[in-house]
Amino acid sequence: MATVKLRLFSALSIFLLSYCLCFAAAEDVRVTVRGVTSVAKTDDTFICATLDWWPSTKCDYGQCPWGQAGILNLDLNNKILANAVRAFGNLRIRIGGSLQDQVVYQVGHAVKKFPHFKRNDTGLFGFTRGSLPMHRWNQLNKLFNQTGVKLTFGLNALFGKHKSNDSDLWLGNWNPKNARDLMEYTIFQGHKIDSYELGNELCGSGVSARLDAVQYSKDIIVLKKLVDKLYPDPKTRPAVLGPAGFYDQQWFNTFFEATGPNVVQGVTHHIYNLGAGDPYFLDQIAQTYRDLSVSIKEFAPWAGPWVGESGGAFNSGGKDVSHTFANGFWYLDQLGMTSTFNHKVFCRQALIGGNYGLLNTTSFIPNPDYYGALLWHRLMGKEVLVTTHNTTPYLRAYSHCSRNKPGIALLLINMSNQTTFSVTVENDDNLYPSSRKLKNYIYGGTEKREEYHLTPKDGNIQSDVVLLNGTPLKLTSSLDIPEMKPIYADSSSPITIAPDSFVYVTIKDFKAPACA
């Protein structure tokens, strides 16, 4: 979890109140999808969730919301947990977080003592160092193997370094011996790692600790050489990711130049930007996504940008918001926005733990955002299409090629609490948009349209219960994730978007050459 020096407004629940006060009962809207070419492309495992190291004694603002949800104490035999992960088929999980750079691995001879996390005001983030036993590592990988997880593992980047006397800057070269011992053990056990990430929030001004960009580049080159040596087959070789922190243009550009080509395959950065529910506020973060994309294009075109961690609100999330339906206005909008800026992966903090887990920390029952993420994963394909509309920004619209189906999939988000939008979809098939604009045509196919309407129980956006097409989404009697069936609508009719709702739509006979 990202820990930030400033406390978010204790009135985080302002998010619940800041909606467009529109008085028209309904509004006709045209959403235009340009299906001729794609504007960006995500990875197959764009949806990602994190597991964090926090022990149960992690507390903020008079609450201790992590319980038994940390990597070292989570009940890995919980049936709901396994079913929730398995429902994705290939969910990406990132193991990492603030305490990552204080973790040593109980294997090999590089470490003589194996500590346990304890509260200590002099330690980074208020904790002493901790360690990962290999029997726990085996248990984690057993769950991941059984549920189809693609695993990103965050390594301790401060091992071998020492803190300077007058700042949070850490000095010296990274010592890779403990990481190498872990990798060799992992390979011997047959555990599959999709990618290794070095360090957590050490770039720029850092969070409690920081590294110089040139020094970090030297360290990650060492990691890349180690991975190449231990995984000689390029087909099964894990990717190398970094720097896993908040975007700082000068630091990132220096890092790219010092690292050189083909070392880092994924450029990971963190986002905690939950505002007051105002779309104009949410739009501000688009500049960060654009700036990073420009930096990568100029200095590291071989790599793709990732949101390696994002929970909306930092320090374990907002206790009255982050686990409720309301959080989806931020989360689903961020999924749509980052994909348009060519981001490959979006990792949600967290799968479980804190106030912002996709699963309830104690009961493991999915929170509303879990179902929003699952529908994205099942419906939204990798190819991202340009999508525009002719109304207020309180209606958000994103479209991709459909996943595993012909046609397109749309996500429509209504941030207004009073206005219903009646959406007609246009197809812009102009191959040369810079030339004289040709007339778009209203899509009117012959196949039924599939719609998934997500609304809060009793109209209360602070509810932990989400309705799909009017029916509450609840676990089955066998604790399986419920089947999520669409309703079918005549393609010639408008799509109705109720206030305070999200709608996924699949249009199978929408003629989009980019999706052929």
How far apart CA 233 and CA 315 sit, in angstroms, is 40
Q: Which two tokens stand for residue 106?
A: 């109980």
Place of tokens 């994205």: 376
Listed residue (127, 215, 226) closest to 182, CA to CA: 226
Strand 170-171 vs strand 195-198: parallel, antiparallel, or unpaired? Answer: unpaired
Instruction: Convert 123-174 into a string of H (helix), E (strand) and C (coil).
Output: CHHHECCEEEEHHHHHHHHHHHHHHCCEEEEEECCCCCCEECCCCCEEECCC
DSSP state of 473: -
Which residues, including other chains, have CB under 8 Å from residue 396's CB and lie 6 or more apart? 279, 333, 336, 411, 412, 413, 415
Which residues, including other chains, have CB under 8 Å from residue 466's CB and lie 6 or more apart? 325, 368, 371, 372, 454, 455, 456, 457, 472, 473
H or E stretch at 280: helix 279-283
Where do the DSSP E strands lie in 164-232?
Answer: 170-171, 195-198
**Which residue(s) pair with 408 in the sheet?**
401, 507
Which residues, including other chains, have CB under 8 Å from residue 373's CB and lie 6 or more apart? 47, 49, 331, 335, 348, 358
Where do the DSSP E strands lie in 57-107?
Answer: 92-95, 103-106
Q: Which two tokens stand for residue 164?
A: 């300077």
How many other C-beta atoms are found inside a 10 Å radius of the C-beta of residue 183? 25
**Active site amino acids:** 201, 309
